[in-house]
Each structure stands twice: as C-alpha cells, then as structure tokens.
Amino acid sequence: MPRRGSSRSAAGRDSQGRGTTGDGDAPERRLGGISDARSYTPRGRTVRDAGRPDRSADPFRPALQVLDGGRKGPVRRTPTQPARGSDRAGGRDDQDGTAGRAGRDGTGRAGSGRAAGREGAGRTAGGPERGRTGGNRAVRGPGVAPAPRRGTGRTATDRKQPVRPHRKPRPPKLASPNRRLRFGSFLALTLFAVIGIRLIVIQVVDTPAYADGGLAGRLSNPVVIPAPRGTIYDRDGAVLAHSVEARYVYADPTEVTDPAAAAAALSPLLGIPKSQLLPRLVPQKRPDGNESQFEYLARGVDIDTAKQITGLNIAGIGIHRDERREVPGGDLGANLIGFTGDDMHGLEGIEGRYDDVLRGVNGERIFEIGGGDLNKAIPDGYLKETDPQPGSSLVLTIDRDLQFEVQRILSEAMARVRATTGTVVVMDIRTGEVLAQASHPTYDAANWKPSKPTDREDVATSFVVDPGSVHKPIVFGAALEEGVIAPDGTLPVPATINKGGTTYRDSRNAQGAQMSLAGMMAYSSNVGTIMLADQLGPQRLHDYQLRFGLGKPTGEGMPGEAAGRVLDPKDWNGSSPGSIPIGHSVDVTPLQMTAVYAAIANGGTWVQPSLIRETVGPDGTRTPAAAPETRRVISPENAAALRTVMEAVTTVPGATGLKAAIPGYRVAGKTGTGSRVVDGRYAPGEVASFIGMAPADNPRYVVSVFAHTPGGGGGDIAAPTFKDIMAFTLLHYRVPPTGTEPPEFVVFPK
C-alpha cells in the first residue's frame, strides 16, 4: 500500500515520464520545479491538481513525503475528492507496470486483484478502481460516477442517498495579539500600582515603625546622668552633708592588654592595693556565661585624679561622671546623719530614713552610634536626653556649733570614766527641736567602711536602759497631779520597804522620820517614792508613764528608734510595785526620758522631739516640717512645783546632783543609776545618768547625759558632763543668768 502523502494519482506516467489522464484523452503536461513542489500537500492533491500531468517524476516528491511523515493511513478528503474506497491506482509491479487491481463490476463491487507497477506504468480512470492516490486523489471527470465510500463498495447513487455538501473545516481560532497586549498591559499597570501604593505606605504611613526598627540596632545603651542628691543642712544653713561631682573608674577586662601593669599604675592613684585591683582587670565570666565587659574599680574619684588616670592611656580603662557624698565635719553628727552607698542610696541615719526625699531621679542619654571601629556617637544623629531631677534638701534642727562642742565634751568625759557607750541630747523645751544629739563611740561618715556597726549606732534612740532614779519625777508629778501629796507635804519614810519578797532601802536612812517632798527628791529616796506609788496605784502610775511618752517611739525621725517597754499592771509580779516606781523593770531610751523632762520644763505639756526643721525643694521652695505632736500631762502649776522640788537635787547639801550646779543659773534635775538591757537581759556595768533643765525658774533647754560604765552613779559620772554642756548651751544662746536665788529647802521638817 502506498504511504500517505506518497501515493500516485489516478493518472499514470509513461516510460518517458509523461503523464496521461485516466481516459487517455488529456493532453500531456510536464510539471517541475519549486512551483510544482508547492502544489503538493501532506494530504494529497487538491482539485486544482486534477487533470495535471503525473508528477511522480517530480524531484521534490521525496522531500514532501518526509514532511508528511511517511505515514500510512486515511486521507482527509475535500468536498471534490472521492470517498475512501473509490478508484485508486492499482497495485505495483516492478516488471511491467500494469494495473495491479481488478476493476469493479457493474454493481460496484471491487475486485480483489492488485496491480503493481512503478516505473513507466500509467493509471487509468476508466473504471472504478479501489485504492488511494499517493499524494493526489483521483478526480472525477465529467460523467464519471462518484467513487464508492470506503468499506461499503457502494457509491452514493447506489445507496440512493443525497450527497451532503461537505463544509470546509474551519482552521483553529488563533489567539488575538491585541487581547494579549491588553491583558499584559493591564497586568503590568496593576503591578506598578500595587508597588507604588506599597511604597507610599512604607515611606509615609509606616515610616516611624521602619525608621525605629533600623534605629534600634544603632542606639547606645542608656547613659545614666546622676541626679544630684539633696544637701543636709544644720538649722543655720551650714552644710552637714552634700554631693559633689566626681568620677568613677571602670575597666573592660576584655580590652586590658596587661592587667598586672595596669594594676600597678592605678594602685597609687586610687589608693587601692594591687591585689584588689588585679582580679577586676583579668578576663572573667559573669553568672550568665558571658565575658564581663564592665568592672568598677573606684567610685567618687576626684576630678584631678581622674585626669591623671586618663593621661596614662591604659587600654581598657575608662572614666565617667559620678557623684560623691561629702561630709565636711567628718564625725560631726555622723551617728545622726548616716551615710550613703556607692550608688548614692542612703543606708543609715537620716540619709537612710529620708532617702526618698534626698535622692533625685536620674536622667539618661541615648544616642546613635556607629558600628565596628566607629563605635562613637554619630554627629547630628538620634539623641534623646532626659534631664535628671535633683533631690530635695533637709534642714535639721541640729546646731552645728553646739553639736561639735557636745561631742567634744562627751568624748572627753567617756574617756575619763572609761565608758563604753554614752549619749547626750540637748532639746529646746518649747518646740521639741533637738539641738544636739551626740553618741559615743562615733565614726567618720565620710569614710564609714572601716568602722564597726556598733560605732555607727545612734545611742539616744537605740540605747535601751532601765532608767533608774531619773524615772522618779514621773511618780512625783503624778502624785502632785492626782493630789496624793502637796508640794510642801511630808511622808514618814522608814529605813526599808518590802515588796514581793524584795527589800528596798535608801542610801540615806531617814529612820522613819518625816521627810519633805524636796528631801525625798534631793536624796533620791527609794522608800519614799515607792510609798507615793502605792498611793497612786499601779493603773494610774501606768497611765502617767504612757502620757509622758514611754513605751513607744518618739517619732523624732531617726530610723530604727526603739520603743522601750512599760509593763501593763496585769503583767506586774510581786516585786513590780517596788521596782517600777524607782525605774527598774522599765525599758526606755535616753531620748524618751529627755522628752519627759522637757514636758516638766514646758509647763506640763509633752512635745514630740524632732530632728527635721524643713524641706527645701530643688526649686528652693521651703516646706516646714509637720507640727509636732503635743499633749497635756500635768498642769502648769504642778509642773512648776515639780521643777522647784527638783532644784533641791543641785542645792541641798549632800544631795546627789551637786556636781551639776552651774554658778549664776538655777538648775533643776535628777540623777539616776540603772542598767543596760541587751537582748532582754541586763548587761554588766551600770548606766549613770543626769537629766536637767535651766534656768529652772524659766527653763529654756533640757540636757540629758547617759553613760554605760563599769560602775558609778549619775552624780559622779553624768552630772559633771551635764554641767559643762548646759553651761556652754546657755552661753551659746546667750541666756542671761538667773536673777533670783533658789529657795531654801527643808529635808526633815519638825
């Protein structure tokens, strides 16, 4: 069977290559060249090719067969072509080129023979031959019946069916380039619009977010700008403690190239041994596992010293602004003022108690820095700076000059009597202001680290003692106020008195004689005082103890002030009616007892002691301290009578407080000998005390002296110290001498 696209037409060719028609009537035509080659299509000849000479000799035939793929199969026919199964050039014969297939009979049945013929064999179209043309199908001539359909052997006429007109197949609809262009343009414009909108959003709407996101990686760590700490002044504006600008020295161990050499160079300038500096200069790990890049070497370094360190150009050593707390007086009022830590936070004393007032709010500076080797601030770059807010200042009630003299006198007296602990309080009776409050031992607040914790205690508010006989004026005042005894009354005072199995006696035996109230005060009669307390009763005595301020802190302003203890009557034991009136089984502080005597001197009105006079804000605004608490304890008349009775202590011959007398001034007071209470137990030794007021006829100041010594009474140890301090106080404040003489006291009226 001839290949598709390569079968011959119904017209044969002769031996000379000339083509003839099927009936032999058509004139001879020769075709050749490119134009003839173009006449062939992969599906065979068209209608135009019908009647043309045979082109089997066309030299382009093999090429066209290759283009058609050389395939065999059915050939699509045009409306003018005969149906498949119509006449074909017959078979092939390599010998004679005769027809290879038998023609069809009159019924249209095809024969079975096949003629073969190649070279020189022509094809006729006389009878309906079955077969296919190679590249061109047989075309019916005039009067020739249509070829039968393939596979039926019958023509359309035999089947008596009308021949349907065959529509020319439409070529496939090609894509429109205009549509593609429009779609591509729309897509491109859409993309450009989306990108443009997004750029506008990024650069206009989201600019701060993106800018900040990039900025975060270029910002430095916050640099703290220390806020100046408030100053502590005395009552006259003299500086007791203030802050000055300084520098701190730090090291980055990762950059220190020679730690040993750096330690040797810094040691003499910082005053720190090399053995302490070297561990901070060598590389070390922090608890989180990272290498330490910052170690403090010294805080509060003088600016001049810092400049010298900067001049050394030691790798890894840096200097930065700092603040240093200075106490010009050194140990002047140190136990009151206290100190701050390296971070400028108050730790003890007034610095600790009022840290929230004195300490300001630090500022900070954040700036943009370069990376790598350019780790410096970028000029005109991002900079955010928060100004520090300085702290407020405090004006104390303390008088610097008086404080200095009190401390000097106390220190000399404590050394003379070998006292381990001592204190002096000087108070203005009208206002409750503490003018001086000294402690022994003391320390240098400007260099507090070498001191012992016990040296830094404020003895006046933390020293808990059994007051001893200085407690007796409370009993006498209560007795006068309650009418138990008159100012000029007397009592028969026996040699001893027994309470709960404990015998109490006097150092000066009255042997049952009538003794005046002034005499009992002058000789510090234990028996007479217990007898007065018996007439008062436990509950009334307890009430007056509380009204005079015992059993709770005074609220002066010092941190950690002790409250003391006063036994409730229901807690008294058998000996309590004898011990409590004379100042035993009562826990007090020196400041509490000073306030008791100030109430007697102030006409019977108790005034809360105070250390803070006013607060000065950063803008200079002055705010006075809150008014002190006051309360009436005894009447002014009874207070005046009690002061007169107490003058007997410094004037009656043989009285316990003669060493407290000050020439030219009337002095009222009381001596005492008690015990120190430590952790609820009595410590070895005795606490000698004297508390007095002057001028007695018009009191201005109260001075109390307490000293814990190996032994000795208040008259011998504390009274002389009181005299020196009170005399200086009266002179310092220019109090004129008393114009009257003290009264003549009768101890044993007849």
If asked whether residues 232 and 138 sit together in one domain, one would say: no
**Per-residue model confidence (pLDDT) at position 581:** 96
How far apart CA 244 and CA 322 sit, in angstroms, is 9
CATH at 572: 3.40.710.10
Question: Quick one: tokens of 155?
Answer: 């023509």
Amino acid identity for residue 66 in this structure: V
Q: Nearest CA to 133 among 176, 90, 184?
A: 90
In a domain, 709, yes or no: no
Confidence of residue 90 (pLDDT cuts 50, 70, 90): very low
Question: Quick one: tokens of 207?
Answer: 């600019």
According to DSSP, the residues that pair with 614 across neighbouring strands are 395, 624
How far apart CA 497 and CA 499 sit, in angstroms, is 7
In a domain, 63, yes or no: yes
453: buried, middle or exposed (CB in 10 Å: 19+, 13-18, 0-12)? Answer: exposed
Q: Regarding predicted confidence, which is higher, 522 or 24?
A: 522
If asked whether residues 156 and 209 sit together in one domain, one would say: no
If asked whether residues 294 and 391 sit together in one domain, one would say: yes
**Per-residue model confidence (pLDDT) at position 682:** 84
If asked whether residues 184 and 118 sit together in one domain, one would say: no
Question: Quick one: tokens of 567?
Answer: 């036994």
Structural contact between residues 444 and 437, judged by C-beta atoms closer than 8 angstroms: no
Question: Given a cut of 60, is residue 123 above it in pLDDT?
Answer: no
For 325, 397, 427, 726, the CA distances from 235, given in Å and listed in that order, are 20, 5, 13, 19
CATH at 335: 3.90.1310.10
If asked whether residues 126 and 88 sit together in one domain, one would say: yes
Question: Given a cut of 90, is residue 137 above it in pLDDT?
Answer: no
In a domain, 478, yes or no: yes
Q: What is the pLDDT of residues 507-548, one digit of tens each?
A: 888 888 999 999 999 999 999 999 999 999 999 999 999 999
Number of neighbours of residue 271 by Cβ within 10 angstroms: 10
Q: Regarding predicted confidence, which is higher, 469 or 296?
A: 469
As a whole number, the mean pLDDT across the chain is 81
If asked whether residues 476 and 624 sit together in one domain, one would say: yes
If asked whether residues 149 and 23 sit together in one domain, one would say: yes
Question: Quick one: tokens of 57?
Answer: 């000799």
For 41, 153, 263, 404, the CA distances from 340, given in Å and listed in that order, are 111, 126, 27, 22
In a domain, 622, yes or no: yes
How far apart CA 579 and CA 546 sit, in angstroms, is 17
Q: What is the pLDDT of residues 622-635, one digit of tens each?
A: 999 999 999 999 99
Structural contact between residues 140 and 77, judged by C-beta atoms closer than 8 angstroms: no
7 assigned to active site: no
**Per-residue model confidence (pLDDT) at position 216:** 65
Residue where a domain terminates, one of 354, 378, 395:
395
The enclosing H or E element of 111 equals: none
Residue where a domain terminates, one of 606, 632, 658:
632
In a domain, 129, yes or no: yes
Q: What is the pLDDT of residues 329-342, one digit of tens each?
A: 999 999 999 999 88
For 407, 633, 635, the CA distances from 481, given in Å and listed in that order, are 37, 9, 7
**Per-residue model confidence (pLDDT) at position 163:** 64
If asked whether residues 187 and 127 sit together in one domain, one would say: no
Number of neighbours of residue 194 by Cβ within 10 angstroms: 10
The DSSP secondary structure of 374-386, one letter per residue, reads G-SBPTT--EEEE
Residue where a domain terminates, one of 374, 395, 416:
395
If asked whether residues 307 and 363 sit together in one domain, one would say: yes
For 3, 215, 291, the CA distances from 219, given in Å and listed in that order, are 85, 6, 21
Q: What is the pLDDT of residues 451-470, one digit of tens each?
A: 999 999 999 999 999 999 99
Residues 6+ away with beta carbon under 8 Å from 148? 83, 85, 86, 104, 108, 110, 128, 154, 155, 158
139 lies in which domain range?
A: 1-161
If asked whether residues 252 and 108 sit together in one domain, one would say: no
Structural contact between residues 517 and 552, judged by C-beta atoms closer than 8 angstroms: no
In a domain, 690, yes or no: no
Torsion over CA: 16, 19, 24, 29 (sign): negative
**Per-residue model confidence (pLDDT) at position 161:** 59
In a domain, 707, yes or no: no
| Domain count along the chain | 4
How far apart CA 206 and CA 292 sit, in angstroms, is 38
Q: Nearest CA to 724 among 414, 306, 459?
A: 414
297: buried, middle or exposed (CB in 10 Å: 19+, 13-18, 0-12)? Answer: buried
Annotated active-site residue in 439, 469, 610, 675: 469
If asked whether residues 56 and 136 sit together in one domain, one would say: yes
If asked whether residues 351 and 281 sit together in one domain, one would say: yes
In a domain, 297, yes or no: yes
446: buried, middle or exposed (CB in 10 Å: 19+, 13-18, 0-12)? Answer: middle
Q: Regarding predicted confidence, which is higher, 608 or 212?
A: 608
Question: Given a cut of 90, is residue 93 above it in pLDDT?
Answer: no
pTM: 0.70
Question: Given a cut of 90, is residue 726 above it in pLDDT?
Answer: yes
